């Protein structure tokens, strides 16, 4: 339906949103404005960009203005629309969990390479420590149907998000979400893989992060202590107890020199075949070794 004279159109509302987000210092203003419009219309981004001279009903325009206002206050786009895509999965997000980063897809890719090959009648067990939204656990279970994943997080709110994502993706039979501290809820020598994207940022830098991260993502999932390695040290120490012989430990780090430091921690703890892999930007970020 074409807009009546004086009625708001998609084009006009979109242009106003782009101006507002640009003024708020958001470099991806146009893309974000389109995604927000798509969200309130209940369509895809491409469809939202079609027929921009159609009228935007007052109720929809009000929801759009509210969503744009949230983004202008630097709330992450993914928290506003409520989801993010990750390795072909659409995962639900809330303010209780980190927004999945594209580089973490490389972590999952390497984890899949490190798992033993499928064998008829044999099921494998993977552990995802600090699961957050459950995105790593769900990706592993979706791409290796012979793998059961225990996803652990000390935040009950995050665990609830992970559990719901596993259910909505049809993976609840193979992803078990546990509220706990690292590998405490598990037995000895039970896991074929331990993977984690843990808190790894030094505490001192958190106040200087972009508002989308520092003000809107959970500090528990970011703060790695004074040198960023507080949680990683605990994972490395406890990993050998829960991993089967020769099973891999795989960690995401802040990258660069921290990746080298984590590789040193694994070697000192007796892990073998320790290696480092770069992220999509070419920064050494992921570290793996075998128990």
Share of the chain above pLDDT 90, in %: 89
Please, what's the b/e burial string for 126-151 (b: 16 or more CB within 10 A of its CB; e: otherwise)?
bbbbbbbbbbbbbbbbbbbebbbbbb
- pLDDT tens-digit map of 131-187: 999 999 999 999 999 999 999 999 999 999 999 999 999 999 999 999 998 756 566
Check residue 237 and give its pLDDT.
92
Tokens of residue 113, six digits:
């390479």
Q: Give the Cα separation of 277 and 109 in Å (integer).
A: 11
Q: The domain that contains 281 carries what CATH number?
A: 3.40.50.150
The verdict on 43 and 154 lying in the same domain is no
Give the mean pLDDT of 185-203: 89
Check residue 132 and give its pLDDT.
97
Check residue 8 and give its pLDDT.
85
In a domain, 58, yes or no: yes
Identify the domain containing residue 63 by its residue range. Answer: 10-73
Q: Would you mind telling me the total number of residues written for the chain in this entry?
A: 291
- pLDDT tens-digit map of 92-101: 999 999 999 9
Give the mean pLDDT of 14-23: 97
- pLDDT tens-digit map of 257-267: 999 999 999 99
The verdict on 260 and 133 lying in the same domain is yes
Check residue 222 and give its pLDDT.
96
Say how many domains are in the chain: 2
In a domain, 82, yes or no: no
Check residue 81 and give its pLDDT.
96
Check residue 264 and give its pLDDT.
98
pTM of the model: 0.91
For strand 175-179 and strand 193-196, is the pairing parallel, antiparallel, or unpaired?
unpaired
Check residue 51 and give its pLDDT.
86
Number of other CB atoms surrounding residue 123 within 10 Å: 12
Helix 29-41 / helix 10-23 crossing angle, nearest 10 deg = 130
Check residue 188 and give its pLDDT.
74
Does the structure show a pLDDT above 70 at 194?
Answer: yes
In a domain, 83, yes or no: no
In a domain, 190, yes or no: yes
Check residue 186 and give its pLDDT.
67
In a domain, 271, yes or no: yes
Strand partners, 129: 152, 196
| One-character DSSP codes across 155-198 | -HHHHHHHHHHHHHTT-TTTEEEEESSTTTTS-SS-BSEEEE--
Does the structure show a pLDDT above 60 at 215?
Answer: yes
The verdict on 152 and 198 lying in the same domain is yes
Check residue 142 and give its pLDDT.
98
- pLDDT tens-digit map of 83-119: 999 999 999 999 999 999 999 999 999 999 999 999 9
The verdict on 196 and 110 lying in the same domain is yes
In a domain, 188, yes or no: yes
Give the mean pLDDT of 215-237: 95
Split at pLDDT 50, 70, 90, the class of 244 is: very high
Q: Give the Cα separation of 46 and 55 in Å (integer).
A: 17
Check residue 1 and give its pLDDT.
46
Of the candidate ranges 7-11, 62-66, 185-189, the one whose mean pLDDT is the lowest: 185-189
């Amino acid at each position: 339906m074409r807009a009546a004279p004086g009625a708001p159109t998609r084009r006009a509302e979109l242009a106003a949103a782009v101006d507002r987000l640009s003024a708020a210092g958001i470099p991806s203003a146009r893309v974000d404005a389109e995604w927000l419009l798509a969200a309130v219309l209940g369509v895809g981004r491409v469809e939202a960009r079609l027929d921009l001279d159609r009228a935007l009903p007052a109720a929809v325009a009000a929801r759009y203005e509210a969503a744009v206002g949230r983004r202008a206050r630097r709330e992450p786009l993914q928290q506003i629309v409520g989801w993010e895509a990750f390795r072909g999965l659409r995962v639900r997000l809330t303010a209780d969990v980190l927004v999945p980063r594209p580089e973490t897809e490389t972590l999952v890719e390497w984890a899949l390479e490190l798992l033993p090959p499928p064998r008829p009648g044999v099921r494998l067990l993977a552990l995802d420590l600090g699961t957050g939204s459950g995105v790593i656990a769900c990706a592993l279970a979706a791409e290796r149907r012979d793998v059961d994943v225990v996803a652990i997080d000390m935040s009950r709110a995050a665990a609830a998000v992970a559990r719901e994502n596993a259910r909505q993706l049809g993976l609840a039979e193979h992803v078990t979400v546990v509220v706990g501290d690292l590998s405490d809820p598990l037995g000895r020598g039970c896991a074929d893989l331990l993977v984690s994207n843990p808190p790894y940022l030094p505490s001192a830098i958190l106040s200087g992060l972009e508002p989308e991260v520092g003000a809107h993502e959970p500090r528990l999932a970011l703060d790695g202590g004074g040198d960023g390695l507080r949680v990683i040290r605990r994972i490395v120490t406890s990993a050998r107890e829960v991993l089967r012989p020769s099973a891999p430990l795989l960690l995401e780090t802040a990258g660069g020199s921290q990746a080298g430091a984590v590789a040193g921690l694994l070697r000192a703890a007796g892990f073998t075949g320790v290696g480092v892999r770069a992220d999509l930007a070419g920064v050494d970020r992921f570290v793996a070794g075998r128990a």
